[in-house]
Amino acid sequence: MLNFHFSMTQPFFILGPCGLESEDFAWEMARSLKPIADKLGIQWYFKASYDKANRTSGDAFRGPGVHEGTRILGEISKELGVPVTTDIHNPAEAEIAAENIDLLQIPAFLCRQTDLIEACAKTGRTVNVKKGQFLAPWDTVNIAKKLQSYGCDDFYLTERGVSFGYNNLVADMRSLYWMKEEGIRVIFDATHSVQRPGGLGGSTGGDGVLAPVLARAAVATGVDGVFMEVHSNPSEALSDGPNQIPLSEIEEVLTRLIAVHKAAHC
């Protein structure tokens, strides 16, 4: 694996499709995003999930699995010189994924699973824990303490909204400030903050048009990173299509986010 070290002069970005739909598709997306990132001079991770384990319907697309998925991502990282990230779902996957993955992500619904946190922490990789929609921002301090107790100080916590009634989420920008005040490095997930979980009956809906809007607010607030899922054709995505930013629009979105950061913090 390559050694990646980000300077924190501006937020980094986590970009890529929701699901690893196929090997060819993953390469297509990574190769499309890299020249945009290079042009804009941003630091970024390429992401794609090898297993969409938390789906509304049992018939929904899952992915190629941990062995094949992390192999594909590892080869993309080596070929393009880009760090990669993906979700893991159990302690055994942490060790497998750590061979090829730079940033191990713990899904929101698993954010308090102690064995999973321990397994990720002990790999020596950077860890990103997605804050569950059921947690208050100050509750994330306990997650941070767990990671540190297992020897991991290189971690992020991701804000992705809080449940607001049925099939709806609200992103409270105060959460970003409160988590930062606790000394936590914070990522804002613009994609999943605009989800409508289960909102389409057999699948999740959302308001993808709002993802760039919330991302701008988060950058102005002062987050360390921004997570945005990107797809070449969101209407045909095999998972989470309503919330992904079209590939054709991502350069403009990133350009505006860089401008917001400079205006607010430079």
- Mean of pLDDT values over 141-170: 94
Q: Which pLDDT score is estimated for 229?
A: 96
In this structure, the strands spanning 195-196 and 205-206 are: antiparallel
Integer Cα distance of 93 and 207 in angstroms:
32
Among the ranges given (5-9, 32-36, 75-79, 139-143), the one the predictor scored with the smallest mean pLDDT: 5-9
- Mean of pLDDT values over 171-175: 95
Q: Which pLDDT score is estimated for 137?
A: 95
For residue 204, name the pLDDT band (cuts at 50, 70, 90): low
Residue in the block written with tokens 């998925």: 69
Question: CA 87 → CA 7, 111, 117, 129, 223, distances in Å?
Answer: 24, 11, 12, 9, 21
- Mean of pLDDT values over 58-63: 76
Which ranges of the chain does DSSP label H, i.e. alpha helix? 23-40, 66-80, 91-97, 114-121, 140-149, 174-181, 211-221, 250-265
Integer Cα distance of 261 and 115 in angstroms:
37
Q: Which pLDDT score is estimated for 199?
A: 55
Whether 56 shows a pLDDT value over 70: the answer reads no
Integer Cα distance of 243 and 190 in angstroms:
9
- Mean of pLDDT values over 79-93: 97
Confidence (pTM): 0.93
Q: Which pLDDT score is estimated for 198?
A: 65
Q: Which pLDDT score is estimated for 140?
A: 96
Integer Cα distance of 261 and 216 in angstroms:
8
Q: What are the backbone angles phi and psi of residue 243, rounded to the nearest 5°?
A: -110, -5
Among the ranges given (2-11, 99-108, 123-132), the one the predictor scored with the smallest mean pLDDT: 2-11
Q: Which pLDDT score is estimated for 16?
A: 98
Give the mean pLDDT of the chain.
Answer: 92
Q: What is the largest CA-CA distance in the chain?
A: 48
**Ramachandran bin of 102, using left for φ above 0, alpha for ψ from -120 to 50, beta for the remaining angles:** alpha
Domains belonging to the chain, first-starting first, are 24-265 (3.20.20.70)
Whether 37 shows a pLDDT value over 80: the answer reads yes
Percent of the chain with pLDDT over 90: 78
**Ramachandran bin of 22, using left for φ above 0, alpha for ψ from -120 to 50, beta for the remaining angles:** beta
